[in-house]
Copies of this chain bind each other. A is one copy, B any other.
Amino acid sequence: MDLNFSAADVAFREEVRAFIRDSYPQYLNDKIDEGEEMAKEDFLAWHKVLAAKGWIAPAWPTEYGGTGWTATQRYIWSEETARADCVRLMPFGLSMVGPVIYTFGTPEQKAKYLPRILSGEDWWCQGYSEPGSGSDLASLRTRAERFTGEDGKEYYRVNGQKTWTTMAQHADWGFFLVRTDPAAKMQEGISFLLIDMKTPGITVRPIITLGGEHEVNEVWLEDVIVPVENRVFHENKGWTCAKFLLAHERTGIAGVAASKRSVERIKQVARNTEDGGDPLLANPFFKRKIAELEVDLAALEYTELRTLAGESSGKGPGPESSLLKIKGTEIQQRLTELALEAAGTYGAPYFRSMGEGDNSFAVGPDSARRAAPVYFNMRKTSIYGGSNEIQRNIIAKMVLGL
């Protein structure tokens, strides 16, 4: 039992720091400091630097383009990128469909999709949720009927509606859960399809969320024709991929490194915010909330490290990862609550276009500008990826045997 980094790890950390210092696109930092939102090309700017370096997918097996880092090196990597406030990479290709493809895909699928995920050439989105199925994912109703095309090849004809499809407006490809056997019950009869988003019959409609963001979409599929070779794993066995992916999604979701960075930001804000002549950070109750967050964040961090240690000693990411999702998102939400509280009076102004003309200009401290929209937006974290209530159900059943 030992928390110390080896000499090799220390050297690696120096290498990482130097790389970030030299190669991170500096203009992204400026955008973040001014509270601006990231656009697709901003995410890709960093993505492409990492792809060129070969560091874009540390978690992947080396044969598919992973870095071969140890768990400690990956921990150092996420610490350092968060410390430098690097933009987060979009997870849909790298953390979600990529692992599904290299785990369950055919050699052809691996050859076709994985390199384009690594390079950033393809932007992916996730077609899971439907209007009728929120946390109850398995109740999905999007249908895929198999037929033989005039060319003699096998196809699916897909009809249905997906929702909460993040970044679908930019996506080249989507991975979809569809029902291939309507007679089967619930989790059976579902298949996992890769669909080119330019296929005729796909309509993407924006959903505007409370902070005014266009992050998520409705995706309508009307007689969308998909070749059978775009199916990953067996027909009617897509739930296997879905479960694998959900567990995978939950590990990353703890977001420890990013939350650490957010705590530092809020401390800085509280140092610079006046409260009756003193810095807000001198207010014992505001300070106490920060201290409690730091304690809970450390508890999350060391619980994640213990989980990772368990994984590296052979146990896969188990249902315990639901703990990381619950506590990670609670902390993320508390951070946004603190930011809004720190903003005080200046939490009220709204600096985004209401959809008809942009009236944004700087009022109050920069840190306050996005406090309310981010607070509203982050309510999603306890809902998506299996709501925190569902995560508790999972722990109750899988860990506690209830």
Residues of chain A having any CB pair with chain B under 8 Å: 284-285, 288
Complex Cα distance, B285 from A38, in Å, reads: 40
Q: List 3 A-B contacts (CB under 8 A).
A: A284-B284, A284-B285, A285-B288
Nearest to A284 among chain B residues (CB) is B284
Q: Once the chains are docked, how many angstroms separate the CA of A284 from the CA of B284?
A: 7
The 3 closest A-B pairs by CB, nearest first: A284-B284, A285-B288, A284-B285
How distant is the Cα of A139 from the Cα of B268 in the complex, in angstroms?
A: 59
For A285, the chain B residues whose CB sits under 8 A away are 284, 288
Alpha-carbon distance A284/B291, docked complex (angstroms): 15
CA distance A285 to B284 in the complex (A): 8
Task: Compute how far the CA of A139 lies from the CA of B285 in the bound complex, rounded to whole angstroms.
Answer: 48
Q: Which residues of B contact A284 (CB under 8 A)?
A: 284-285
Q: Which residue of B lies closest to A287 (CB)?
A: B284
Specify which chain B residues have a CB less than 8 angstroms from the CB of A288 in the assembled complex: 285
The distance from the CB of A16 to the nearest CB of chain B, in whole angstroms, is 40
The smallest beta-carbon distance between A283 and chain B, in angstroms, is: 9
**How far in angstroms is the closest Cβ of chain B from A279?**
16
Report the bound CA distance from A288 to B284 in whole Å: 10
Give CA–CA (A56, B285) in the complex, Å: 46
Query: In the complex the two chains form, what is the Cα distance from A288 to B285 in whole Å?
Result: 9
Nearest B residue to A283 by beta-carbon distance? B284
- Measured CA separation A252–B284 after assembly (Å): 38
**A147 CB to nearest B CB, Å:** 46
Distance (whole angstroms) from the CB of A276 to the closest CB of chain B: 14
Query: What residue in chain B is nearest A288 (Cβ atoms)?
Result: B285
Q: How far is the CB of A348 from chain B (nearest CB, A)?
A: 25
Report the separation of the CA atoms of residues A284 and B288 in the bound assembly, to the nearest whole angstrom: 10
Taking the closest CB of chain B, its distance from the CB of A214, in whole angstroms, is: 36
Report A314 CB to chain B, min CB distance, Å: 40
A169–chain B nearest beta-carbon distance, Å: 39
Least Cβ distance of A284 to chain B in Å? 4
Q: CA–CA, A307 to B285, complex, Å?
A: 34
Tell me, rounded to whole Å, the shortest Cβ–Cβ distance linking A278 to chain B: 14
| Complex Cα gap A285–B288 (Å) | 9
A53, B285: Cα distance in complex, Å = 51
Complex CA–CA separation, A192 to B331 (angstroms): 53
How many whole Å from A307's CB to the nearest CB in chain B? 31
